[in-house]
Amino acid sequence: MPEQHARDIVYTPSEVGTLVLGAVSERKANPGAGIRLGIPEVDAQLLPLRPGELVTITGRPGNYKSGLMQFWARRVANDLLASQDEHGIVVYVTWEMAVEEIGLYDLAAATALNAAELAQGRLDDAAFERLQAAAMRRACIPLWLIGHSIERRKKRPRLTMGNVAKALEWIEDNMEFHPRIVFLDYLQQMEPERRPGQEVNRRMDIFENVHRCKDMALALGCPVVLGVQATRAVDERTWKLPQIGDQMESSNIEHTADKMISVWMPKTSESPGLLGNTDLEVNDNLLILGIIKQKLGPAGGWWGLYVDPTRNVITGLERGGGAHK
């Protein structure tokens, strides 16, 4: 390491004290600052996301971890638009869906049209006009996507974390926008970065990518939200909300993440009726969300939420409640 680079990672006792006082002073002056989920009953316990934090959302396939990330990304982007933050943007990186698919949910949410119907082209002329108007409004919302498009299918560079970092650098250097939060959907789909001839080791690939995600949060000076698939062991339990240690192929997450959120849609595994010992009804719109780790804050609570998957809308239940233990 060159000497000038070595100095960049060394902090004297005096510098440490100055940096801490600066951070605390900023938080004292802006106690509500940071990025919130936007669901009041959850935000009462979930501390605002701060620059440099890695936040994970864990769930089994089909249990709405990507849906929660899309909802959150859109909400933050709309907040940035309302605050007239001229240089702030939200970036959503997808390994799983085409850009057109994610954009479809944006327009469905904006128009209250059914995303499944839109995907099949089932809409009349009046609905199509609403969709066109929503597409024009979408152009003003600072929500950027990194991924692959069906339209640009012949131009598909490998979507490694290294290339994602280069894309984010290009946005900053050439477009003069800075990410306020980055969403990565999701860990187990990320392409590995191996040297030629290097032995294939899936667990080590994921282990290294977790470190790259945390490093990205520190390098960009913004929170990074990472989607993570849970193991099949969750399916064998009565209460199927993923817990610490349930992340597929990576024990590194529980050590590296600053906050860990888990999700479960009971309709994917439970019979209709009341959910366990709760008064919650198992149906197409019930989402269970839990906080399983939170540095400097409480963890262990869970909430029953209302979700409309066809429009990617999440709200609290009218029944009220609060965190359950």
pLDDT score for 10: 86
Kindly state whether residue 25 falls inside one of the protein's structural domains: no
Alpha-carbon gap, residue 58 to 20, rounded angstroms? 31
Residue 4: predicted pLDDT: 59
Tokens coding 153? 């299918």
Q: Note the pTM of the prediction, 2 decimals.
A: 0.90
Task: Write the CATH number for 217.
Answer: 3.40.50.300
Is residue 4 a part of any domain in this protein?
A: no
Structure-token pair, residue 83: 């605050």
Tell me which residue range forms the domain holding 65: 37-192+200-316
> 137 lies in a domain?
yes
269, with CB counted inside 10 A (0-12, 13-18, 19+), is middle
Residue 143 bridge partners (DSSP)? 90
Number of structural domains, the chain?
1
Assess if residue 144 is contained within a domain.
yes
Residue 6 belongs to a domain: no
Q: How many CB atoms lie within 10 A of CB 256?
A: 16
Contact 303, 324 (CB under 8 A): yes
Q: How far is CA 100 from CA 89, 94, 147, 151, in A?
A: 19, 11, 10, 9
Q: Is residue 2 part of a domain?
A: no
Euclidean distance between CA atoms 65 and 146, whole angstroms: 18
Query: Cα separation of 311 and 299, whole Å?
Result: 29
Per the CB < 8 A criterion, the answer to whether 109 and 74 are in contact is: yes
What is the C-alpha separation between 179 and 171, in angstroms, rounded? 9
**Low-confidence stretches of the chain (pLDDT beneath 50):** 319-322
The DSSP code for 323 is -
**263 Cβ partners below 8 Å, 6+ apart?**
57, 58, 59, 63, 64, 65, 68, 241, 242, 287, 288, 289, 290
Nearest alpha-carbon partner for 76 in 88, 67, 64: 88
- pLDDT at res. 2: 64
Q: Look at residue 27 and tell me if it is in a domain.
A: no
User: Does residue 223 form part of some domain?
Assistant: yes
